[in-house]
Each structure stands twice: as C-alpha cells, then as structure tokens.
Amino acid sequence: MTEELRLRERKKLQTRHSLWQTAIDLFVERGFDNVSVAEIAAAIDVSKKTVFNYFPTKEDLVTAPMEEHVDESARIVRDRAVGESAITALRRHFLAALAARDAATGLNDNPAVLNVQRLVRVTPSLTQRVYAFFARSEDFLAREFAGQTQAADITARVAAAQILSVRNVLVAENVRRLLDGESADAVYPDAVANAEHAFDVLEGGLGAYCTREAEAD
C-alpha cells in the first residue's frame, strides 16, 4: 500500500511538472494571453479540469513555484539560532541560496527559469501576481517580527519592508544580468559582493533588531 501511494505521488509530481513545463513553452512561443488552459491540457492529453486541480488559475501555471518561498523569510527568522539577529540569519540564508543557484535569488540560468522571468516582465497579470506575492511575503515577515519583539506594529512593518525591498533589489539585479546573457557562474562573485554590501547597509540601520534570546530554564 505504501509503495502504491508513493507511486501515485510521483505520478502527480510528474504530471504537475509536465503541465508547468508545457505551459511555459507554449506561453513563450505564443504569448501568455494567446494560449488557453484547454490547449495546455490537450498538449499532454489531460482534461482542463485536471489542469485546474493542479493549478487553480492560469497565472499559477507560471508563478506556482514562487509559493514555496512566500513565507520563507519569516521561517528563517523564526528558526534562527540563539543569539542570531534577523539580519544575520537572512544574510546567511541568502548567501547560501546564491551558492546553490536557488532560483529565488535570481541567480539561476536554467532556460525554463529565465523564460518565467521574461514572461513576468511582459505580461501585466503575471506582474501583478508577483507584486502580490511580494506583499504577502512582507506581511508574513512583519507578523513574525511583531510576534517576537512585542514592539509597535509599525516598527515590524518598517523592518520587514526594508529587508525585503533590499532583497528584491538584489534579485532583480541578478535577473537583469542573466537576461542580458551572462551566466550564473559569471555573475556569482558580484552577486555575493552585492549581497554582502546590501546586508551591511541594512545592519547599519537595523543592527541587532530581533536578536533571538535564549529561552529561560
């Protein structure tokens, strides 16, 4: 029974990936607004209902991978080590993600990932979806700060906005250079230097904000 469940799960993951990849290919070829969900379904021989079971909206066919990261910054802050500030934890994670060429840092030159970046830039509905994603990420982080510091809500929201705005600038610069034709490996040294500088600037303003203290015995 367990093996059967694992097989079903693998098939679901395969179908999801096939739908996503097929959708990206068709959107790049013909434009997001010129491809219907029915055409995507037909391309891999599934029903339109099946597509919506995996991706509730057409926009999700492009942006769904981002959902894995929507509360990522908040989780990093929540799980940081004792004595570690929020900035230090987020810096550490971002640098590690750059080294891993995590697409969330903008430093991933996989053709499918770059195609998503191009689609977002030329499709208003996708651009709006990404802006909404940024707003939700900021809200998650602000709520985490507010809960941990017990400080005024405005302080938590200002801190979250500063941190994620800086992060978005770093990501946008990496994406810009990759879309201009540079490789991720070539951009990596500058991406690291930019990140270190940006987080240094953040520390100048936020410093030890939301440093995790040891729990009382």
User: Which amino acid is located at 70 in the chain?
Assistant: V
Q: Which two tokens stand for residue 199?
A: 């987080």
Distance CA 111, CA 132 (A): 25
Please say whether the dihedral angle defined by the alpha carbons of residues 105, 111, 113 and 117, taken in this order, is positive or negative: positive
| Fold annotation for 2-57 | Arc Repressor Mutant, subunit A (1.10.10)
Which of 130, 146, 12 lies closest to 78, judged by CA?
A: 146
pLDDT digits (tens, 9 = 90+) for 167-196: 999 999 999 999 999 999 999 999 999 999
Domain ranges of the chain: 2-57, 63-206
Note the pTM of the prediction, 2 decimals. Answer: 0.85
How far, in Å, CA of 27 to CA of 19, rounded? 12
pLDDT digits (tens, 9 = 90+) for 131-174: 999 999 999 999 999 998 887 789 899 999 999 999 999 999 99
Fold of 63-206: Tetracycline Repressor; domain 2 (1.10.357)
Domains 2-57 and 63-206 are alike in CATH topology: no
